[in-house]
Amino acid sequence: MRTLKFIDLFCGIGGFRIAAENAFKKAPIKASCVFSSDIDPDSCAVYEANFNERPFGDITKTSEHNIPDHDLLFAGFPCQAFSICGDRLGFKDTRGTLFSDIARILKAKKPQAFVLENVKQLRGHDEGRTLAVIISALEENGYHVEWKILNALNFGLPQKRERIFIVGFRKQLHFEWPSGGIAMKPLAKILQKKAPESYYASEKIKLSRMEKGALKNKYNGPTIWHENKGGNISVYPFSCAMRAGASYNYLLVNGERRLTEREMLRLQGFPESFVLDCGYTTARRLTGNSLPIPVAEAVICAVVKSLEADFEKVVEHKRAKATRLPDNVIYA
């Protein structure tokens, strides 16, 4: 059984790594994470608690030649420069230029494939020019690139979280995007039966929510009430996208209380064994910055399937070549 090595850039609390490990459990190959990196100390502490290794810090502070050789690169590169919650400055925003670190590593290490993740707004930022620059840079490094926006709702999670995934291969391989179609897990299986009183909003906030949203609740069972920047309330049997920098009260279970740390992890697809030992504000930021694990897992599975199909073709070609008789053999 062969082993593929991968690196986990801008790793956060490890969503991409969990997705990769889950994907490789379904494949006839092993996987090994040989490098991880994140600048945020809170993220690094949580990552270390769950994976027993401390991520490297600021990726801009190390040469690409110091990065271990690897077959796959995963990166949920910082999205603030492209998000509707940011200033939409793209590459004019210093955070946006962190993509250049991915590009320089790809150029130096030439892994077989990569998977990148970002907010869906990247597609239309600057009328599509930002994404075009990114795709062009990836292609200039010798990769065949595809991208697609996928929604966590279609992959079993009760969270409307649309994200753009960008995949690339050094060889032009047949690749099929995962179709999703997985039934959404009901909120009742995500939400805790009881939550401490400290998670409940004030009476003033609850009354305001009821006035704005009670008539919109057409569902039986638990719901999550979402308040946008304009003060409009939406009520759904799933969560709108969790955001790292949003108000404490923009998502309220049944219009009454905030999500607990465990509920936030579940909405992103983290396993029950995942440890998140930090304050509430930090937990909300870290989970809001993470990715929907089942979606990333499905994309990685599709990438590995393409790589394995190509590997089998190469092996079969070598076998055929080894067993073929020389052309100068005279047959009796």
DSSP state of 56: B
Question: What CATH number does the domain containing 111 carry?
Answer: 3.40.50.150
Q: Do 70 and 11 lie in a common domain? A: yes
Q: Which pLDDT score, from 0 to 100, does residue 96 have?
A: 62
Q: Which pLDDT score, from 0 to 100, does residue 53 have?
A: 95
Q: Do 175 and 64 lie in a common domain? A: yes
Q: Do 175 and 198 lie in a common domain? A: no
Domain assignment present for residue 281? The answer is no
pLDDT of 79 higher than 80: no
Domain assignment present for residue 273? The answer is no
Model confidence, pTM = 0.90
Containing structural domain, residue 167? 3-183+288-318
Mean pLDDT of 167-193: 95
**Cα Rg of the chain (Å, integer):** 22
Q: Please indicate whether residue 44 is annotated as part of the active site.
A: no
| Identified catalytic residue from 11, 33, 44, 79 | 79
pLDDT of 92 higher than 90: no
pLDDT of 233 higher than 80: yes
Domain assignment present for residue 328? The answer is no
Q: Do 73 and 210 lie in a common domain? A: no
b/e per residue 213-230 (b: at least 16 CB within 10 A) = beeebeeeeebbbbbeee
Please name the residue ranges forming H helices in the chain: 15-25, 41-51, 99-109, 129-140, 203-213, 261-267, 280-288, 293-323
Q: What are 245's two structure tokens?
A: 């920098």
Candidate ranges 183-187, 243-247, 312-316; pick with highest mean pLDDT: 183-187
Positive or negative torsion for Cα 186, 49, 59, 301? negative
Query: Chain-wide mean pLDDT for the chain?
Result: 90
CA dist 193 and 216 (Å) reads 23
Domain assignment present for residue 226? The answer is yes
Domain assignment present for residue 150? The answer is yes
Q: pLDDT tens for residues 99-144?
A: 889 999 999 999 999 999 999 988 988 888 888 989 998 999 999 9
Residue with tokens 């239309």: 124
Q: How many domains does the chain have?
A: 2
